[in-house]
Amino acid sequence: MRVWAPSHGYPKPRQNGSFLAAAFVLLFLILSASPSANALPAFARKYGLRCSACHESWPMLNNFGQKFKDNGYQLMNEHDSPIWQNPGYWPVTFRIVPLWHRLSSGKQVVDTAAGGSSVGQNEQRITSSGFDLSGLDFHTGGTLEKNFSFYVLPSSDATASFHFETVMARLDNVFNSPWLNVKLGKFELDNLLSEKRILTLTGNGGIYQLYHFVPVGDGNIFGQMGDNQLGLEIMGHSYNDRTRYSVSLLSTSDGQVGLPYGAQSYSTFITGSQAFDAGKLGLQRLGFYAMAGQAPTSWLTSGGPNAAIAGSGTQNKNFSREGFVGQFYFGQHFDVQLVTQHGQDSAWFGQGYGDLIDGVAVNNNTPGTTLAAGSRSPTWNGILVEPHYVYSPQLIFLARYETIRMSQQSTPGTRSDLGNITTYTVGYRYNPFMTSRAGFAWHNEFNLFHQTGTAPLTGSNINSSEVLTGFDFDF
């Protein structure tokens, strides 16, 4: 669940010394008065666990929390069925973030006025700050009966416009084996590093850029691994959860309902990982993922060559994403998460054929269409490194470095680094309390985002930044 909608393009703010000094004083005071942490809502109400049993820092899971999730939100004991719960128990949690943030975005196109009339355009930096809200999420999940689990998440943006972020039912331990579990619905792809449990909230830092990258001019939106997808998943794991695998068959629709794209538009997502005990260092995990699929580049039309008929997509073209993942622990307080990616799209996507925009096929691959001479498949490589320092179950410091580099542009002669992304994020989350009824975090974060050659008028680089502080709470 992404609780803060992305806001792209904002540069480095001017720091206020007195504000920072006050923040450090407040941090010192809360560290010196830290009460013990307890459990999170919903599942904690059912099982009475401490929060640190499942979370490194909520909402990010630790190894035990991942095992609990893999078991279908069950501890695999005699009380997993809801019939054992108090009749007043209702597994519902809501989450929202009131916040203050400062956004600064360079190279924004503005009209140039002379004598009161617009005479042209130029690029300027636009900076704004103020108090704001994230979206609102309603979580409900658990077991319908032992080995029958579910999760439903209606989610809104900051204006209370709702959609279904997650709706899934799962058959757990089919044939009494943890190696076979079947999930159907709309759900997060089962990658080791979860964007739905991300600890950051800024527009560009609150997503994993690797999971959403699209080359400049590319028309393929369907490889966005960070978005929840519609489909069927089969996953399995060993009894101790050291070995995991999953295979998903997905509609190539980027999670959109109503079959908007057409027949034979399917994707697959495959993951696997193995954990091993490194003694005092802790549990280490290595894995891989691969996403491959087809998406349409042509539609039947009604009312003009670009007025596409929803569901009529044809002339599917291929795309793929693959990489390695790792979780490395260095004792009780420090860990590093790592993701790599190699991506490739069909040359048709690279030339702008692909997604419908409000029923309009901007580039419609009609019969007889040919690609521009020399068109190639765009390819790129990326890496994400995210270290965490867990001072205590209540306080976590985090950082992230992420970079994506184009290795081949679709159109020959295009500058080789067009669209390259580099982003840095630092922050911390302090939880003064977490009980079986509620959780609260004071969240502070700074993000710096850089993209090469994408300024709309001059083709220069874009730098943006965001600083954010807020209260992240659930009940």
Quick one: pLDDT at residue 81?
67
User: What contacts 223, CB < 8 A, 6 or more positions away?
Assistant: 214, 291, 293, 319, 320, 321, 343, 345
3-state secondary structure of 171: strand
Give me the percent of the chain exceeding a pLDDT of 90: 63
pLDDT exceeds 70 at position 211: yes
Average confidence (pLDDT) over 397-404: 98
Task: Phi first, then psi: give them for residue 18, nearest 5 degrees.
Answer: -65, -35
Average confidence (pLDDT) over 245-262: 93
CA–CA separation, 63 and 47 (whole Å)? 17
Between 92 and 462, name the one with better pLDDT: 462
Instruction: Specify the pTM.
Output: 0.83
Give the tokens for residue 231: 């489909």
3-state secondary structure of 46: helix
Per-residue model confidence as pLDDT tens digits over 135-156? 999 988 888 888 999 999 999 9
CA–CA separation, 194 and 447 (whole Å)? 19
pLDDT exceeds 90 at position 328: yes
Task: Phi first, then psi: give them for residue 449, nearest 5 degrees.
Answer: -125, 135
Domains of the chain, each with CATH number or no CATH: 17-40+101-127+199-474 (2.40.160)
Quick one: pLDDT at residue 359?
77
17: number of Cβ within 10 Å: 7
Biggest alpha carbon distance in the chain? Answer: 79
Whether the CB-CB separation of 445 and 468 falls below 8 Å is answered with yes
Per-residue model confidence as pLDDT tens digits over 351-388? 999 988 777 888 888 888 999 999 999 999 999 999 99
Give the pLDDT band of residue 422 (cuts 50, 70, 90): very high
- Let me know if 28 is exposed, middle or buried by CB neighbors in 10 A (0-12, 13-18, 19+): exposed
Amino acid, res. 347: A
Task: Phi first, then psi: give them for residue 272, nearest 5 degrees.
Answer: -160, 150
CA 408 to chain centre: 25
Quick one: pLDDT at residue 33?
37
CA–CA separation, 251 and 317 (whole Å)? 14
Bridge partners for 396 per DSSP: 390, 429
Quick one: pLDDT at residue 144?
86
